[in-house]
Amino acid sequence: MRIGYWLACATLAVVQNTTAGTGDWVATGPDGGTVAAIDRSATTLYVASTGHLYRSNDDGALWQATAEAPQEFGAIAVSRHDPQRILAAAGSGILRSTDGGATWSRTELPGWVSRIVRSALPERAEEVIAVAGEQLVRSTDDGITWQTLLDATGQPLAADDVAADPRGPSYYAVERFGRLLASTDGGLNWRHVASLSPSGMLAPSIVVDATDSRFVYVVTYSIDVSYVHRYRTDTLAYQRVHTADWHGAVIVDPWTPGRLWVSGSGIDSTTYRVFESTDHGESWQPVYSGARVALLAADTHVRDRLYGQNALGLVVSDDAGRTWTSRTSGIDSASIEAVSIDPRRPTTLLAALSAGGVRISTDQGANWDSADAGLSSTAVRALTRHPVLDDVVYAATDAGLHRSDDQGRTWQPVSGAVGRFSALAIDTALPQRMTALRNGAIVFSADGGETWQSMFPDARAIEASPAGGPVYALLWGSGSAHTVMRAPAHGQTFEIVGGDLRLTTLAAHPYAPSVVIGVRIGTPATVYLSSDGGTTWQVRSTLAASGLPRVAFDRCDGASVLLAIGDSVYRSADWGATWQPAPLPKPSRTLADLSVACTDGHAYAALGGVDSGVQVRVPAAVERISSGGFEPF
C-alpha cells in the first residue's frame, strides 16, 4: 500500500510530457568492433562483423555497412567465379547476395552458422558446404537450398569445421571430438583419414594449403593447451607441429609454397605472438610480439598482406605479420565498457572501449577522438563524473583509479587508488567520500581516493542516487541473479536487504534515494520497484526480452524509466508498470552501460554495449518534475 500511495502522489507531481523529438536511437560509433571473417573479390573487401556486414572499395581505408538490418555475422564467402555472389553467415541463417552486397535474401539453417566454404572448381561453382549447428550442410545452387549431410549411420554429420581444397575437388572436415574426414564427391560421402591426438579436444579451425594441397592443417584445443597438427594426403602422416596455450587459425600463404602463419602465445606466457613457418610447419619463428592479434586471412590479391583482429578491431599487415595498422574507419561497432554524458554539455560524450582506452565526442557521437593521455591502463571499466566540479571525471581502470580535470581529455592516477577498479560512486554532499569496487571488493575512501578501507569482500556492482542517501550493491550470485545490499550512507556498513530477491541490475532514483528499480533476467524478465531502500519490493511488470539489461530513471521526468535489453530500449512513464519499446539500430546481447542526463528541459540518453558501439537517443523535450519538496511518503 505504501508503494501504491507514493506512486499516486508522485504521478501528480509530473507535468505533462511535451515531447518534441521521436525518441529514436542512433548508432554513433566509435570505430572498431569484432571482425569474425574477411574475404574479397578483385576490387572489393568484405568483413563480417558482429553488428553488420561491411565492404570497402578503397583497400580498407573506409568501410560501409551493406546488410539492410543488423545481424550476428560469423563467416563470409565470395565466389571466385562470380564476385557478385556472396554468402554470409548470420546467426542461424545464410544471407545471399547476387549483386555484390547491395541486396540480400535469407535462408534458415539447422543452427548457428560458423563456416562457409565454396568449391574451387569452375564446374562446381555453385557448390557450397557450411557448418550449421555443428552439422555439415550442402548446397548445389549457390546457397538457395540446403541439405543436411549424413554419416555412415544415417545421422547428421557433426563437425567443428570444414575446409575446401583450393586446387581440387576435396573437402576436409573435423568430426566433433574425434576424427579428420575427407570427401572427394562434394561432401556426399566421407572417409576417416586421421584421428586427433589427444582425443576429446575441440578443433576450431582447419585449412588446406593454398599452394600445395597435400598439406592440411588443424588447430585443436582444450582448457589449457592448444596444438597445430599437419596431415599429409600423400604419406597419410599426421603429426603435431606446434604447441601453445592459445592458438588462432592457421593462415596459409597463397603466394609462397610452404609458408604459413599462426597467432598464439607461448606456454606460460602472457605475450602474444605471430609465428611463421616457411617449411610446411616443420619449424617456426616468431615474427611479431606484443598485443594480441588473432589472424583472419591472407590476401589473395596482395602479396605479404595479412588481416587480423586485435582488441579494437580489424588490423592489417603488409609485411607478412611483422607490423600491424588499424583499418576500422567506418566499422562502427566498438565494444564499450562504459559511457557517460556530460550533464552540463550534453552533446559531449565519453566512451570507454574494452581494452581500448577512452574516446571523447563533443558532437553527440558524430566524431570521436582519443582521450587516453595519462592512463596507466587502457582497460577502463567505469566512468564517473564529479557531482560538483563540472570538469572532473574519474576512470576506474585495471591499473587503478584515474582523475581528469579537463572533461576527460587527459588523466592522472589517484596516488592511493591502486588495484583493479571496476566501479565508483561519489557522495554528492561530501564529494571526498567515495565508494568503489576494487579487486571485486567494496572499498570506501573519505579523502578523495588517497586512502581506502575495506567494506565488503565480494560484490559485482554499486549504485547511489545523485541526491545522496543510501549506497546499493549487488553481491555476486549464481549466474545473473545477485543479492541486494544497502549501506545507509557512504562509509557505513552494508547489509543484505530484500530477503530472497535476486536482481541482475538496479538503479536508484535521482531525486528520491530510497526509491530503487531492479530487473532480473529470465523467461520473462521481471521488473521490481522498492520505495523503502530495497527492504521490500513490488513486482511492477514482466517483459518478453532477453539479454543483459541496463536500467536508469529519466533525469527529466522522475516517473519515467529506461530499460535497455537485447534489441530495444523500453520506456515506461509509470514507474515500470507498462513499457513502450524503441528498437536499437545495433542490438547487443551484452549492454554494458546506460547514461542519462537532463539539460535545459531535454532528456538525453546514451547506451554502450559489446560490439554495438555507443547509441544515443534523439533528445526529447520534457517538463522536468519538481525536485523541491518532493517526498516519497
For 543, the grid coordinates are 517483459
Closest C-alpha to 293, from 305, 310, 307? 310
CA angle 375, 380, 386 (to 5 degrees): 80
Lowest pLDDT segment from 17-26, 371-380, 423-432: 17-26
Burial 299-314 (b: 16+ CB within 10 A, else e): bbeeebbbbbbbbbbb
Q: Would you say residue 271 lies in a domain?
A: no
Element containing residue 455 per DSSP (H, E) = strand 453-456
Identify the band that residue 570 occupies on the pLDDT scale cut at 50, 70 and 90.
Answer: very high
Looking at residue 269, what is its pLDDT? 55
Looking at residue 19, what is its pLDDT? 38
For the segment 172-192, the average pLDDT, to the nearest whole number, is: 89
Q: Would you say residue 508 lies in a domain?
A: yes
Lowest pLDDT segment from 85-89, 313-317, 610-614: 610-614
Looking at residue 492, what is its pLDDT? 97
DSSP designation for 318 = S
The pLDDT tens digits for 402-414 are 999 999 999 999 9
Residues 6+ apart with CB under 8 A from 287: 261, 274, 275, 276, 320, 321, 322
Looking at residue 356, what is its pLDDT? 86
Looking at residue 4, what is its pLDDT? 41
Burial class (CB in 10 A: 0-12, 13-18, 19+), 282: exposed
The pLDDT tens digits for 514-531 are 999 999 999 899 999 999
Closest C-alpha to 101, from 81, 79, 117, 122? 79
The pLDDT tens digits for 494-508 are 999 999 999 999 999
- Percentage of the residues of the chain whose pLDDT score is greater than 90: 71
- Bridge partner residues of 64 (DSSP): 55
Residue with cell 511488470: 541
Identify the band that residue 177 occupies on the pLDDT scale cut at 50, 70 and 90.
Answer: low
The pLDDT tens digits for 379-388 are 999 999 999 9
Residue with cell 517538463: 623
Q: Would you say residue 297 lies in a domain?
A: no
Query: What pTM was estimated for this model as a whole?
Result: 0.84
Q: How many domains does the chain have?
A: 1
CB 84 within 8 A of CB 104: no
- Residue 586 to residues 21, 231, 287, Cα–Cα distance (Å): 20, 42, 37
Looking at residue 438, what is its pLDDT? 97
Domain hosting residue 562, numbered range: 2-27+334-621
Looking at residue 3, what is its pLDDT? 41
Whether residue 628 is predicted with pLDDT greater than 50 in this model: the reply is no
d(CA 226, CA 247): 6
Closest C-alpha to 476, from 453, 455, 457? 457
Looking at residue 558, what is its pLDDT? 85
Looking at residue 16, what is its pLDDT? 33
Identify the band that residue 220 occupies on the pLDDT scale cut at 50, 70 and 90.
Answer: confident
Looking at residue 198, what is its pLDDT? 67
- DSSP letter for each residue of 115-180: EEEE-S-GGGTT-EEEEETTEEEEESSTTSS-EE-B-TTSSB-BEEEEEE-TTSS-EEEEETTSEE
Lowest pLDDT segment from 108-112, 176-180, 338-342: 176-180
Identify the band that residue 344 occupies on the pLDDT scale cut at 50, 70 and 90.
Answer: very high
For the segment 60-67, the average pLDDT, to the nearest whole number, is: 87
Looking at residue 8, what is its pLDDT? 35
- The region that residue 268 occupies, defined by phi over 0 for left and psi between -120 and 50 for alpha, beta otherwise, is left
Name the 3-class secondary structure at 12: helix
For 390, the grid coordinates are 563540472
Identify the band that residue 96 occupies on the pLDDT scale cut at 50, 70 and 90.
Answer: very high
Burial class (CB in 10 A: 0-12, 13-18, 19+), 240: middle
Whether residue 11 is predicted with pLDDT greater than 60 in this model: the reply is no
Find how far residue 559's CA is from the centre of its chain: 31
Looking at residue 272, what is its pLDDT? 86
What CATH number did the domain enclosing 472 receive? 2.130.10.10
d(CA 144, CA 102): 17
Q: Would you say residue 262 lies in a domain?
A: no
CB 403 within 8 A of CB 389: no
Q: Would you say residue 73 lies in a domain?
A: no
For the segment 321-337, the average pLDDT, to the nearest whole number, is: 92
Closest C-alpha to 570, from 611, 540, 534? 540
Burial 507-524 (b: 16+ CB within 10 A, else e): bbbbbbbbbbbbbbbeee
Looking at residue 624, what is its pLDDT? 47
Q: Would you say residue 255 lies in a domain?
A: no
Q: What is the CA radius of gyration of the chain?
A: 27
Looking at residue 422, what is its pLDDT? 97
- Percentage of the residues of the chain whose pLDDT score is greater than 70: 92
- The region that residue 451 occupies, defined by phi over 0 for left and psi between -120 and 50 for alpha, beta otherwise, is beta
**Residue 470: is the preceding peptide bond cis (ω within 30°)?**
no
Identify the band that residue 100 occupies on the pLDDT scale cut at 50, 70 and 90.
Answer: confident
